[in-house]
């Protein structure tokens, strides 16, 4: 059985496949990650459950509501017909990639068809969504980014006339959907390993303070110090937080001590590169999930102090590297129950939010068995 404490030792897909050699091990690993504080019923939350012996391993029954469940029930893996091992391999590849894996490549690597890989990838992205009640703290850099689309106006003084091959980022005023990005600043000069700051993203319809305000409050704790550019909306919103520092890019000011928005701008660049280089396109309908994947991965890095020899002298340097993969998976599945995803008739996917399992029980108990079965059936 794979213990989730042995995480540091898995460094390659080959090693991962050796550690999780069969479906039984994969199932036990999944159970350990979904039920980190003990097994519970995904429908009523009851902790009293019993194992059902039979040909299908991993099946349990709730002693309170009498309904059967598995580790996948009411998670984005709900009703999957694919082996759990495939899922874990897909998750491994997604977590270990730098900017994501396209469904075409994922399908090739784990040996499934592209349509299934596309759905798996979206299910993984749904797992990556941070819990709504978790807010960023400390010092937080905020910025907006528009992915895809052409800029409305071209700044000739800065970027040159049209037709010259000079990078001209899509931005304010363009038709492209805009995203609000917030990142916790990672402390500089770390002594031991330090987690990278968490990242939050949200699609926004307008750049006005009235629109951004509530979205920002949903992502960032009011006790934080904000760092941003001198955007009018950010200037207005800064007053409702503990502190607010700005850098004025139009005055060629990019950093003032540790006041800067370089971390968030680095992340914005990752979004653009992933969009262009990995996925090429995403619809507005699913865009939020793609960006949540990038945000999750960015937050799964740690800065580690390592030594190296330079001309015979031992020197220390800080290196940013991904956290051990099983630690990442543990975090990924911590809030899996209550998030479901189904195929729609048009081969798209929709999310089903069942964040209130207790309320479901009364209605479901009254419904007929046939209806319950229909509810549990998912065409994958």
Strands (E), the chain: 49-51, 60-62, 68-69, 139-146, 178-184, 194-195, 199-204, 225-229, 243-247, 255-256, 259-260, 301-310, 313-322, 339-343, 349-353
Confirm or reject binding of residue 41 to Zn ion (CB under 5 A). Answer: yes
- Nearest CB to Zn ion, comparing residues 200 and 339: 339
**Of 159-198, which residues contact Zn ion (CB under 5 A)?**
none
- Nearest CB to Zn ion, comparing residues 43 and 122: 43
Q: Which of 29, 44, 180, 196 binds Zn ion (CB under 5 A)?
A: 44
- Nearest CB to Zn ion, comparing residues 62 and 196: 62
Least distance CB 338 / Zn ion (angstroms)? 14
Piece of 34-42, 94-102, 254-262, 319-327 that binds Zn ion (CB under 5 A): 34-42
Residue carrying structure tokens 């899509």: 170
- Nearest CB to Zn ion, comparing residues 191 and 362: 362
Q: Which two tokens stand for residue 287?
A: 């865009």
Gyration radius from the chain CA atoms:
23
Alpha helices in 20-154 (DSSP H): 23-34, 84-96, 103-110, 114-128
β-pairing verdict for 60-62 and 139-146? unpaired
Least distance CB 337 / Zn ion (angstroms)? 12
**Of 64-103, which residues contact Zn ion (CB under 5 A)?**
64-65
128-167 in b/e form (b: 16+ CB < 10 A) is: bbbeeeebbeebbbbbbbbbbeebeeeeeeeeeeeeeeee
Least distance CB 352 / Zn ion (angstroms)? 18
| CA pair distance 22, 139, nearest whole angstrom | 44
- Nearest CB to Zn ion, comparing residues 34 and 329: 34
Confirm or reject binding of residue 349 to Zn ion (CB under 5 A). Answer: no
Confirm or reject binding of residue 216 to Zn ion (CB under 5 A). Answer: no
- Nearest CB to Zn ion, comparing residues 46 and 130: 46
- Nearest CB to Zn ion, comparing residues 65 and 294: 65
| CA pair distance 21, 164, nearest whole angstrom | 55
- Nearest CB to Zn ion, comparing residues 46 and 299: 46
Size of the residue set binding Zn ion (CB under 5 A): 7
Piece of 40-48, 206-214, 239-247, 284-292 that binds Zn ion (CB under 5 A): 40-48
Least distance CB 374 / Zn ion (angstroms)? 19
Binding mask 244-283 for Zn ion (x = CB under 5 A): ----------------------------------------
| CA pair distance 207, 357, nearest whole angstrom | 36
Q: Which two tokens stand for residue 221?
A: 């704790």
Q: Which residues contact 82 (CB under 8 A, 6 or more apart)?
A: 112, 116, 120, 380
Least distance CB 364 / Zn ion (angstroms)? 10
Q: Which residues contact 144 (CB under 8 A, 6 or more apart)?
A: 178, 179, 180, 181, 204, 207, 231
Confirm or reject binding of residue 46 to Zn ion (CB under 5 A). Answer: yes
Least distance CB 368 / Zn ion (angstroms)? 18
Q: Which H, E and C letters describe 93-132, residue by residue?
A: HHHHCCCCCCHHHHHHHHCCCHHHHHHHHHHHHHHHCCCC
Piece of 44-52, 53-61, 121-129, 292-300 that binds Zn ion (CB under 5 A): 44-52
- Nearest CB to Zn ion, comparing residues 66 and 315: 66
Least distance CB 367 / Zn ion (angstroms)? 15
**CA-to-CA separations, 141 to 55, 102, 119, 152, in angstroms, rounded:** 53, 29, 32, 26
Binding mask 49-68 for Zn ion (x = CB under 5 A): -------------x-xx---
- Nearest CB to Zn ion, comparing residues 48 and 175: 48
Interface with Zn ion (CB under 5 A): 41, 43-44, 46, 62, 64-65
């Amino acid at each position: 059985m794979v213990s989730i404490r042995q995480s540091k030792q898995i460094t390659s897909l080959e090693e991962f496949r050796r550690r999780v050699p069969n479906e039984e091990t994969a199932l036990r690993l999944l159970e350990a990650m979904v039920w980190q504080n003990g097994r519970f019923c995904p429908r009523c939350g009851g902790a009293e459950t019993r194992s059902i012996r039979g040909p299908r391993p991993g099946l349990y029954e709730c002693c309170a509501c009498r309904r059967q469940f598995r580790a996948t029930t009411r998670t984005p893996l709900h009703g999957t017909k694919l082996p759990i091992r495939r899922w874990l391999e897909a998750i491994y590849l997604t977590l270990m990639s730098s900017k994501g894996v396209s469904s075409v490549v994922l399908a090739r690597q784990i040996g499934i068809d592209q349509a299934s890989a596309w759905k798996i990838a979206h299910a993984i992205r749904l797992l990556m969504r941070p819990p709504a009640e978790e807010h960023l703290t400390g010092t937080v850099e905020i910025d907006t980014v528009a992915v895809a689309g052409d800029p409305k106006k071209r700044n000739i003084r800065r970027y040159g006339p049209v037709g010259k091959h000079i990078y001209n980022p899509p931005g304010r005023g363009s038709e492209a959907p805009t995203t609000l990005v917030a990142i916790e600043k990672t402390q500089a000069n770390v002594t031991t390993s330090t987690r990278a700051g968490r990242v939050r993203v949200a699609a926004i319809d307008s750049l006005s303070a009235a629109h951004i305000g509530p979205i920002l409050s949903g992502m960032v704790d009011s006790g934080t110090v904000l760092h941003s550019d001198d955007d009018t909306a950010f200037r207005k919103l800064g007053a409702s937080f503990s502190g607010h520092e700005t850098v004025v890019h139009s005055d060629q000011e990019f950093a003032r001590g540790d006041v800067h928005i370089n971390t968030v701008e680095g992340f914005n660049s990752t979004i653009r590169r992933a969009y262009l280089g990995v996925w090429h396109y995403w619809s507005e309908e699913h865009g939020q999930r793609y960006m949540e994947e990038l945000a999750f991965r960015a937050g799964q890095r740690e800065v580690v102090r390592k030594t190296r020899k330079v001309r015979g002298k031992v020197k220390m340097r800080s290196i940013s590297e991904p956290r051990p993969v099983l630690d990442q998976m543990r975090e990924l599945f911590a809030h899996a129950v209550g998030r479901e995803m189904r195929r729609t008739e048009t081969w798209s996917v929709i999310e089903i939010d069942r964040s209130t399992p207790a309320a479901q029980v009364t209605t479901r108990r009254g419904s007929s068995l046939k209806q319950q079965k229909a509810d549990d059936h998912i065409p994958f």
